Structure 1
Amino acid sequence: MPKSLLALLLLVMPVPALAQAAYCSIPQQVPRPRPEPPPAGEPRRLIPAAGYTLALSWSPQYCATARGADSAFQCSGRNGRFGFVLHGLWPEGKGRDWPQYCRPADLLPRQIIRQNLCTTPSAQLLQHEWAKHGTCMTTRPELYFNLARAFHDAIRYPNMTLLTRRKSLTVGQFAAEFARANKGLKADMIRVRTTRGDWLSEVWLCMDRAMEYARCPVHQRGAPAGARLRIQPGPNILPVRSRAAPAPRPSLKLDLDPNARVPAD
């Protein structure tokens, strides 16, 4: 079997991801999402992808203020206690605009929700990510989520418990710690997003068109490196030993799907 084909099969194989969950228990009846049509003011945008962003959310911060049924699986504690979760894999444009809502999105099958709920613990967010971003990368949701999950599973994290206790942590120091945990990742490939009060909200990892980690574009702003950073306490999860991210190659990009090109308007 050719090595590239073997790598592809490993990439798309559904496996549970518990690296940032104290535990994760999926109910027999998984939550069902609502349709996610483009909202008012969010136009369908058919432009080529010039790069990608892997967005990771710090779940304890989200759950500190989240309310409503859509956040119950992630925040109630009945199904798990989560650290970093996968917000999404987003195609980016050359400038400030990005492709979005490229095709109509059917409701995700229950099996796809089940396979991804420990990684992105919200059925509604999974539906949103497929509708807004995934439809601009492939016509098959399983390809989109398998690829996003493969990148998520390869990420290693610093000791968040220790960082939470630091009284004088800056954004730049956190980015350096995050990069140090991942071979091939550098601080300028990371954008740290914060909420009011300098609380850690998300970490964005920038990638080029070949899905190799790359320096973030200037327009993709995050919190300043010298800004104070506070971290909402989360589950005590021991760091996993650093390893390299999956080695993307052109044959593994989602244009392996013959219908994955951005459709003509």
Structure 2
Amino acid sequence: MRAVCLAGSLLLAAPLSAQAYQCSLPRTASVPAIERDGPARSAPVTGYTLALSWSPEFCRMRENDRGQARQCSGHAGRFGFVLHGLWPDGARSWPQWCATRARPSAQTVARQLCRSPSTRLVARQWAKHGACMTRQPQTYYRVSNILFDSLRWPDFDRLSRKPDLSAGDVRDWFVAANRGWRTDAVGIKLNERGWLEELRLCYDRRFLPTPCDRQRLGPADDSEVKIWRGL
């Protein structure tokens, strides 16, 4: 009942295009080499996490960082939530850095840059996570994109202005905009100062919303949340 009431008060929920304002795709892109920075770990996949970074917070104090120019300078568009990655989960730990010789092509990387505006981010997500899920990078990105593009977004600018904003408010607004979702499947990651960094959406093996474990769920519903608008 609470979600129904919220749905009536939200501004029109927006699809992908509202998350990448005036972004245009390059024809090609360089594919950076990715070095493994942790242990290789193979395990049966029990579910998935779709990690979505809140770009205004990520770009705070990075506007002049040349390494983050596409996402943060404003010259390649403005971003809301960006696709950090699709991560496989396991029963006791998560698979990562699985052995593969496959690498995404320059064209494949370029096609991702309005969803994940960093060539290094795109290449790293395949190397660290995608190779534990599929044999080919194209399949990994296609599944990631289907999930990301299916989401609808409440007005987070309006939400950020709500007095006494809580983690429960963020979950409620997201669920009100996305039929079939449940609040305990919407994980939240805050930084040490309490500002929203990411949503972490929890899926089962069939890619249906499922309750997050404690680590992915993040702060309790009554926890204070702040959302940086990039102003």
Provide the residue aligned with 1:244 in structure 2: none
What whole-Å deviation, never above 9, does each CA across 1:237-258 have from its counterpart, x for those lacking one? xxxxxxxxxxxxxxxxxxxxxx
Q: How far has the Cα of 1:159 moved from its partner?
A: 1.0
Partner SS state of residue 124, structure 2: helix
8 Å contact from structure 2 (residues 25, 111) kept in 1: no
Looking at structure 2, the residues matched to 84 and 59 of structure 1 have their Cα atoms a distance apart, in angstroms, of 6
Provide the residue aligned with 2:33 in structure 1: 35
Looking at structure 1, the residues matched to 31 and 120 of structure 2 have their Cα atoms a distance apart, in angstroms, of 5
Partner SS state of residue 46, structure 1: coil
Partner SS state of residue 88, structure 1: strand
Q: Map 1:68-83 onto structure 2 (within 5 A).
A: 68-83=65-80
8 Å contact from structure 2 (residues 23, 78) kept in 1: yes
Q: How far has the Cα of 1:107 moved from its partner?
A: 4.3
Q: How far has the Cα of 1:171 moved from its partner?
A: 0.7
Provide the residue aligned with 1:18 in structure 2: 17
Letter of the structure 1 residue corresponding to residue 58 of structure 2: Y
Looking at structure 2, the residues matched to 160 and 68 of structure 1 have their Cα atoms a distance apart, in angstroms, of 25
Computed over aligned residues only, the root mean square deviation of the Cα atoms, in angstroms, reads 1.9
Provide the residue aligned with 2:85 in structure 1: 88
Runs of 4 or more off by more than 6 Å in structure 1?
none
Q: How far has the Cα of 1:152 moved from its partner?
A: 0.2
Q: Map 1:142-153 onto structure 2 (within 5 A).
A: 142-153=138-149
- The answer to whether the aligner puts 1:181 opposite 2:198 as a matched pair is no
Partner SS state of residue 18, structure 2: coil
Looking at structure 2, the residues matched to 197 and 186 of structure 1 have their Cα atoms a distance apart, in angstroms, of 27
Looking at structure 1, the residues matched to 110 and 27 of structure 2 have their Cα atoms a distance apart, in angstroms, of 9
Provide the residue aligned with 1:139 in structure 2: 135
Letter of the structure 1 residue corresponding to residue 32 of structure 2: R
Provide the residue aligned with 1:122 in structure 2: 118
Looking at structure 2, the residues matched to 215 and 221 of structure 1 have their Cα atoms a distance apart, in angstroms, of 8
Q: TM-score, normalised by structure 1?
A: 0.77
Provide the residue aligned with 1:199 in structure 2: 195
Provide the residue aligned with 1:98 in structure 2: 94
Letter of the structure 1 residue corresponding to residue 55 of structure 2: S
Matched residues, percent identical?
Answer: 38
Looking at structure 1, the residues matched to 74 and 97 of structure 2 have their Cα atoms a distance apart, in angstroms, of 32
Provide the residue aligned with 1:165 in structure 2: 161
Looking at structure 1, the residues matched to 202 and 57 of structure 2 have their Cα atoms a distance apart, in angstroms, of 22
**Of residues 189, 211, 215 in structure 2, which corresponds to 1:215?**
211
8 Å contact from structure 2 (residues 36, 128) kept in 1: yes
Looking at structure 2, the residues matched to 108 and 69 of structure 1 have their Cα atoms a distance apart, in angstroms, of 23
Looking at structure 2, the residues matched to 127 and 181 of structure 1 have their Cα atoms a distance apart, in angstroms, of 31
Partner SS state of residue 180, structure 1: helix
Letter of the structure 2 residue corresponding to residue 186 of structure 1: R
Tell me, which stretches of 5 or more residues in structure 2 are unaligned?
A: 1-15
Q: TM-score, normalised by structure 2?
A: 0.88
Looking at structure 2, the residues matched to 147 and 114 of structure 1 have their Cα atoms a distance apart, in angstroms, of 16
Looking at structure 2, the residues matched to 117 and 178 of structure 1 have their Cα atoms a distance apart, in angstroms, of 24
Looking at structure 1, the residues matched to 121 and 60 of structure 2 have their Cα atoms a distance apart, in angstroms, of 18
Tell me, which stretches of 5 or more residues in structure 1 are unaligned?
A: 1-16, 236-265
Partner SS state of residue 25, structure 1: coil
Partner SS state of residue 192, structure 1: strand
Partner SS state of residue 203, structure 1: strand
Number of aligned residues = 216
Partner SS state of residue 127, structure 2: helix
